[in-house]
Amino acid sequence: MQSNFKNPKKSAAAPQETAIAVLGWLANEPDMFGRFLALTGVEPAQVRNAINEPAFLAGMLDFLMNHEPTLLAFCEASGIPPEAVAAASAHFSPPGLASGEY
């Protein structure tokens, strides 16, 4: 019988680790990072504090998820599968009408 309970330590760590990996990758891609900052309105000096905000992490992951070539470039460079990025994005994003979780 399969348990419906998740391991809270693993489920909380994996999205956080994925988000940090995305930020690290973006920081090493100046054009992409500049585009992300321009779209979000976040100043480079604000990033250090913003990484503690779930909304910032959600936006960063959405940025990746909304452009497949960028998502695939990140996945290839990091070895993290797209499914892990999608799971991290769902973890940090608030539920929407389509989720049935409102």
Q: What is the mean pLDDT of residues 88-99?
A: 79
- CB-based contacts of 36: which residues, under 8 Å, 6+ apart? 26, 60, 63
Task: Kindly report the pTM of this predicted structure.
Answer: 0.78
Pick the residue with more confidence: 53 or 11?
A: 53
- Distance between CA 60 and CA 69 in Å, rounded? 15
Q: Minimal CA–CA distance to 58: which of 69, 42, 73, 43? A: 42
- pLDDT (0 to 100) of residue 95: 75
Determine the Cα–Cα distance for residues 89 and 62; give it in Å rounded to an integer. Answer: 6
Q: What percent of the chain has pLDDT over 90?
A: 68
Give me the chain's average pLDDT, please. Answer: 84
34-71: pLDDT as tens digits:
999 999 899 999 998 998 899 999 999 999 999 999 99
Residue spans of the domains in the chain: they are 13-90
